[in-house]
Chain A
Amino acid sequence: MTGRRGAESPDPESLSLLRRAVAIRDEWLAHGLSTDPADRPAAEAAISALYRIVDRPPPRFVWVDSPGSALYPGSPLHRAESTLAYLKAPEPSDGADPPVHDRLADLWSTMRSRLDRAVAPCLRPPLRAQRPPATLPAVPPERALRDGVWAGAVIDVTVRHSLTVSLCDAVRAPLFTEFATCSPRPLAAAWYGQHDAYRVGHYDAWHRLGLASFPAWAREVLDLWAATVRSCGWWWPGEGVCVVAERTAALHSEPMPDAVHGEVRLHRDGGPAVLFRDGWGAHVLNGTRVPAWVIGAPTPERISAEANVEVRRAAIERIGWDAYIGAAGLALVATAPDPGNPGSELRLYDMPESPVVVPGARTRPGPPGRVLVVVNGSPERDGTRRRYGLPVPGSLDDPVDAAGWTYGLSGATYARLARRT
């Protein structure tokens, strides 16, 4: 499993392991992104079996169409809340029988420590192997193997890290935020069904690749959690009743920029990027969760009132930098001819401060930023040239210096630009 430093190509065994690992990762990613209706019998069977392992009789199942169902008064999850003991009493008193969700959490962590013990040898560097660079997630895996990184480290990044980035950070996190912005209180003590794929998939990969052998007990418990990943959405285990949400009904994603391990993020221009069967969901533009108005009706006024700069930026790009700068009355700092782009101008503006004052903020605001509005070197289909804004440091006063800064060049060097397309 150890590649030699400087070898021209990775050894065939490592390469074959990598290819199989990628296929297994993509299987779990597909479960995480699945928009099929829940497989209710399979989910109920797996969850019932988990209850039995923690000495609880199988619960009654209440199905809801989305995690957001918890938010509506009278929804099934809302009605079932009284039976979800932990929502009322998160800390069990001493000597009391721990609630089922605590028992399941204990079961999970016991299983995980046994699986981790079995996987540990794969993650340990072989003798004389160099430690992988911290940038390993950004290195194409074949190249990492060729550079002498041992196969275990590459497989870990290409399966566990990739699934975590795609499903935990890029899909579950925006749904959490959506949930939190409208939820009266956190309902965080849930399991996430299909969105738990990133916690299960890598163990499955080590096992199926024949690189780790798990104790039978741990393997059985893992199989049950894997079955929930393959069959349902978020679920809330309570005493005697378990609320289970459907899977996503529609989900729009795109490859993450520069991803080398198949990472994806949410994106949809024309509506919600994630939609559940009851209409609950989240709007996401290129990975940034945005309020619905950004897609439906962005206006300069709303943009100026928006506190989150990433949301503000996404909204500006929808109405166009020209329209926004005109309507918001940004102050022009300076203009200059664009080197290499005859007839076009570089325009430098001051960006307004965030309108929100945060009480008790400990960090003092730095100098405000600026935005350089540039013109594409190539025409669009309709013959116009797209203009767009690039945020630049507020310390730059000269548009050519600012344009040079975006490429790590001085203004004097950037001024030598011969041609822009």
Chain B
Amino acid sequence: MSVTAPTLADLTARTGLAVLDHLEREAEVPVIDGLQAQGDLLVVPLHLVADDVTLSEGPGPHWTPVPAEGLELLRSAAGGNPHTLVADPGTCRWTRGVHDRFGLALGVLATTAPAYLLHPEHGGSGLAPGTYAVRRQREAALRHAWRDDRARWSPGESRLVAD
């Protein structure tokens, strides 16, 4: 993709992925090397979570090159609205072969050129070259302490947020 930051309209034109038309389409999508959140997903530079997120050992993680049409990382609860990773072919790769102490990481991406995460409702996030973990969001879950129909908020357990 071009050196100057593309707009959301540019990204949807190049990838064929649609975003909702009320989002600001002509603003540039900033390319950032830090922490970014897109709805219930978080993109975090791997070094910031190196104590908690590690790549699989043994023969090494199975890396998937991000193809021209993009790679769906996660779909929303209703089955639509995916978070899609897009990049110029040959510049970005992705693996789900990771271990996360909190079980929140979907995987790790490594990119040598700007890569973009697109979502129909949340628009685009631009990722500067680097290595990032992509994590899901969690919330405290219920503990069924006494009987199934007497659940209460529990401090100890969590479940993944599905928006």
Is A419 a contact of B30 with CB atoms below 8 Å?
yes
Is B42 a contact of A407 with CB atoms below 8 Å?
yes
Chain A: interface residue total (CB-CB under 8 A): 52
Partner of A361, one of B59, B140, B145: B145
Is A407 a contact of B79 with CB atoms below 8 Å?
no
Is A255 a contact of B79 with CB atoms below 8 Å?
yes
Partner of A419, one of B37, B142, B161: B37
**Alpha-carbon gap, A381 to B19, bound state (A):** 12
Is A419 a contact of B23 with CB atoms below 8 Å?
no
Is A419 a contact of B59 with CB atoms below 8 Å?
no
Is B140 a contact of A378 with CB atoms below 8 Å?
no
B36-64 CB contact bits vs A (8 Å, 1 = yes)?
11110010100011001000000100100
Smallest beta-carbon distance B37→chain A, Å: 4
Is A408 a contact of B156 with CB atoms below 8 Å?
no
A325-361 CB contact bits vs B (8 Å, 1 = yes)?
0000000000000001000000000010110101001
Is A309 a contact of B151 with CB atoms below 8 Å?
yes
Is B161 a contact of A390 with CB atoms below 8 Å?
yes
Residues of A within 8 A of B79 (CB): 254-255
Partner of B146, one of A363, A366, A369, A390: A363
Contact A417/B36 with A358-B147, A409-B49 known, Cβ cut-off 8 Å: yes
Partner of B78, one of A6, A146, A255, A414: A255
Residue of A nearest to B22 (CB): A381
Contact A420/B37 with A310-B142, A408-B52 known, Cβ cut-off 8 Å: yes
Contact A391/B153 with A286-B77, A363-B146 known, Cβ cut-off 8 Å: yes
**Alpha-carbon gap, A281 to B128, bound state (A):** 52
**Alpha-carbon gap, A368 to B154, bound state (A):** 7
**Alpha-carbon gap, A390 to B137, bound state (A):** 10
Partner of B156, one of A366, A383, A414: A366
Contact A257/B153 with A340-B37, A406-B161, A407-B135 known, Cβ cut-off 8 Å: no
Is B17 part of the binding interface, using a Cβ–Cβ cutoff of 8 Å?
A: no
Partner of A408, one of B76, B100, B125, B162: B100
Smallest beta-carbon distance A172→chain B, Å: 16
7 sampled A-B residue pairs with Cβ under 8 A: A6-B59, A258-B74, A405-B138, A407-B44, A409-B48, A419-B37, A420-B38
Residues of chain B touching chain A, judged by Cβ–Cβ distance below 8 Å, are 20, 22-23, 30, 32, 34-39, 42, 44, 48-49, 52, 59, 62, 74-79, 100-102, 104, 119, 121-125, 135, 137-143, 145-147, 149-156, 160-162
